[in-house]
Amino acid sequence: MINFKGFTPYPEEFARQYRKQGFWKDKTISQIMEESFNRFSGNTILISDSGRRYSYEEFGKLVTRLALHFHILGLKEKDRVVLQLPNVPEVLIACLAIIKAGGIPIMALPPHQEAEIGYFTQFAAARAIVIPDLFKKTDKQAMAANIMAQKNSPLEMAFVLGDNVQNGFHSIDALLKDPIEKRENPDILPQPDPDMPALLQLSGGTTGVPKLIPRTHNDYVHNFTCNADMCELNQNTRMLIAIPQEHNFALACPGFMGLVTQGGCQIISQNPSPKAALSLIQEHKITHWVAVPAMIISLLNYQDRNQFDLSSLEVILTGGSKLNPEVAVRIGKELHCDLQQVLGMGEGPLFWTRKNDPQEIKLDTQGRPQSKGEEFRIVDPITEEDMPDGDVGELWCRGPHTIRGYYNVPEHNLKAFSDDGFYKSGDLVRLHPSGNIIVEGRIKDCINRGGEKISAEEVENHILAHINIDNCSCVSMPDPVLGEKTCVFVTLKNGASINLNELNSFLENERRIAIFKMPERLEILDELPLTNVGKVDKKTLRDRIARQLAFEAEN
């Protein structure tokens, strides 16, 4: 019996089936990683964009070393640790070290600010945080110190990457240089139950504040090994990742973890720009590029693209937001490489197109489940009946790497999961006659900004804290590259005024939310349109801003 408060385990009969069918191997992530560190010891595992390189053996030693330091400094089994580092090798070393020390990393994203990090820390009672000294212009140590100073803050330890580590915080560089393994035996590290949560991912687009997604060792190992198969990775694979490494796509779909099971090499980059991608693809003879559609569009439209040699590129792995079929066609024609689409979710479900699928399926669909154990339904969200084949409905999923509940939100879980354990994705899809699915839209109230998910309600609650604002509603507006951006419609208090700059500086400085969540357009109305049940009519607002943008583009 798993003893972890707030976690919804898989029901016994499903767990038994998943073991029997070989989906669950009863090994921890650390065990699987170590098998690879030994097996591929001389291969290069990781190269940073500044040229730092690690062999499997070296990398494995650093993970063990940092795990021992965490343990000796007091990190205990099941302790939650907020992990927030940019795309540098240490983000992966620290992630695996926390897991190896028995801790549970909360996979925060680099742009998150005090509002988000403070919330995760409190909500999950995190005892430790791993941060850079500075990220862009933000002083992350000041952020951690503020969170620690809050009343009843659970946060006790901060581990900092960078040169200017403040008093009382631990320097990651110093720990990585100190060979503690000569003094302490790695056998002292705990051996978690593979049915225990190994890490907490963040939900993309549920209502309100982000939910935490507990992924168990068994489910995650199945997730990334299956993924590595799906993308046919091997020892010659050279995979470029410039999306945030903490994100499920970059970490395990197939991501770093999947790649490591096959002995390949990852190039980790902090720069998502097309120019950086082009030069890294050329320099490192990249075979697999992991990119959200917005990055592909920017690269296709990059003027000097033809000056780079992209002949090594075998395939682009893309997901996170909808890939336009017209863009999909350009990939083959202009970049001369293959394409695999994934509809993925932090909650676990993964649909992939396969390399040997017919062209029509690769270009027009988002694939079918990767795991033989994944079940899905397409339902009418109101009646919860299955839709006739080919009709649009909500996608529900259940399987050996799909969670049964978010962390510690029992009320919300009653709505987000069906009685028989299907995760209600909030995505609207239809079934293609081939058995693949096509994403048609969503019913969840979020904005998908180039793959970055923004909960409308979360941002609205911050905006409503502004004294000039009476009411507000955030909706998506179309964008040619990012797909969607946030537009906020506001009504003002009597005689008050506001513009976008004033609002965003309030959100940045007073509310301290991540910049990517800030509205990129503000529209002032006398009143917000309402539906006949009295809710804000977001469809009318979305149509209105889309029409307005189309009009502005023409004039």
- CB of 281 within 8 A of CB of 288? no
Residue from 401, 442, 466, 544 touching ligand OOB (CB under 6 A): that is 442
Which residue, 114 or 347, is less far from ligand OOB as judged by CB? 347
Which residue, 231 or 387, is less far from ligand OOB as judged by CB? 231
Q: Under DSSP, is residue 511 helix (H, G, I), strand (E, B) or coil?
A: coil
Q: Under DSSP, is residue 471 helix (H, G, I), strand (E, B) or coil?
A: strand
Q: Which of residues 217-236 bind ligand OOB (CB under 6 A)?
A: none
- The piece of 116-124, 166-174, 338-346, 368-376 that touches ligand OOB (CB under 6 A) is 338-346
Closest separation between CB of residue 247 and ligand OOB, Å? 6
Q: Which of residues 201-220 bind ligand OOB (CB under 6 A)?
A: 204
Tokens standing for residue 187 = 């056998």
Compute the half-sphere exposure of residue 407: CA atoms within 13 Å on the CB side of its CA.
26
Closest separation between CB of residue 448 and ligand OOB, Å? 6
**Pick from 401, 343, 375: which is nearest to 225 by CA?**
401
Q: Under DSSP, is residue 154 helix (H, G, I), strand (E, B) or coil?
A: coil
Which residue, 286 or 345, is less far from ligand OOB as judged by CB? 345
Which residue, 453 or 544, is less far from ligand OOB as judged by CB? 453
Cα 305 to Cα 308: distance, rounded to the nearest angstrom? 6
Residue from 100, 453, 466, 544 touching ligand OOB (CB under 6 A): that is 453
- CB of 390 within 8 A of CB of 380? no
| Burial class, 302, CB count within 10 angstroms (exposed 0-12 / middle 13-18 / buried 19+) | middle
List residues bridging with 25 in a β-sheet.
Answer: none
Residue 424 lies near ligand OOB (rule: CB under 6 A): no
Residue 427 lies near ligand OOB (rule: CB under 6 A): yes
The separation between CA 110 and the C-alpha centre of its own chain, rounded to angstroms, equals 11
Q: Which of residues 97-116 bind ligand OOB (CB under 6 A)?
A: none
Residue 402 lies near ligand OOB (rule: CB under 6 A): no
Closest separation between CB of residue 322 and ligand OOB, Å? 4
Buried b or exposed e, range 454-467, using 16+ CB within 10 angstroms:
bbbebbbebbeebe
Residue 248 lies near ligand OOB (rule: CB under 6 A): yes
Residue 249 lies near ligand OOB (rule: CB under 6 A): yes
Q: Which of residues 354-393 bind ligand OOB (CB under 6 A)?
A: 366
Residue that the structure tokens 């090798």 belong to: 89
Residue nearest to ligand OOB (CB): 344
- CB of 237 within 8 A of CB of 284? no
Closest separation between CB of residue 317 and ligand OOB, Å? 8
List, in sequence order, the alpha helices (H) in 202-324.
217-230, 248-252, 255-262, 274-284, 293-300
- CB of 213 within 8 A of CB of 201? yes
| Burial class, 95, CB count within 10 angstroms (exposed 0-12 / middle 13-18 / buried 19+) | buried
Residue 538 lies near ligand OOB (rule: CB under 6 A): no
Parallel, antiparallel, or unpaired for β 197-202 and 212-216?
A: antiparallel
**Pick from 497, 41, 408, 40: which is nearest to 209 by CA?**
408
* Interface characters, 495-524, with ligand OOB (x: CB under 6 A): ------------------------------
* Interface characters, 170-189, with ligand OOB (x: CB under 6 A): --------------------
List, in sequence order, the alpha helices (H) in 84-138.
89-100, 114-123
Which residue, 171 or 370, is less far from ligand OOB as judged by CB? 370
**Three-state secondary structure string covering 375-435:** EEEEECCCCCCECCCCCCEEEEEECCCCCCCCCCCHHHHHHHECCCCCEEEEEEEEECCCC
Residue from 129, 253, 265, 339 touching ligand OOB (CB under 6 A): that is 253
Which residue, 70 or 256, is less far from ligand OOB as judged by CB? 256
Residue from 284, 288, 322, 512 touching ligand OOB (CB under 6 A): that is 322
**Pick from 265, 225, 224, 221: which is nearest to 241 by CA?**
265
* Interface characters, 276-315, with ligand OOB (x: CB under 6 A): ----------------------------------------
Residue 343 lies near ligand OOB (rule: CB under 6 A): yes
- The piece of 51-59, 298-306, 319-327, 398-406 that touches ligand OOB (CB under 6 A) is 319-327
Residue 346 lies near ligand OOB (rule: CB under 6 A): yes
Which residue, 172 or 387, is less far from ligand OOB as judged by CB? 387
Residue from 425, 455, 476, 486 touching ligand OOB (CB under 6 A): that is 425
Residue 345 lies near ligand OOB (rule: CB under 6 A): yes
Contact residues for ligand OOB, defined by CB under 6 A: 204, 248-249, 253, 319-322, 341-346, 366, 425, 427, 439, 442, 448, 451, 453
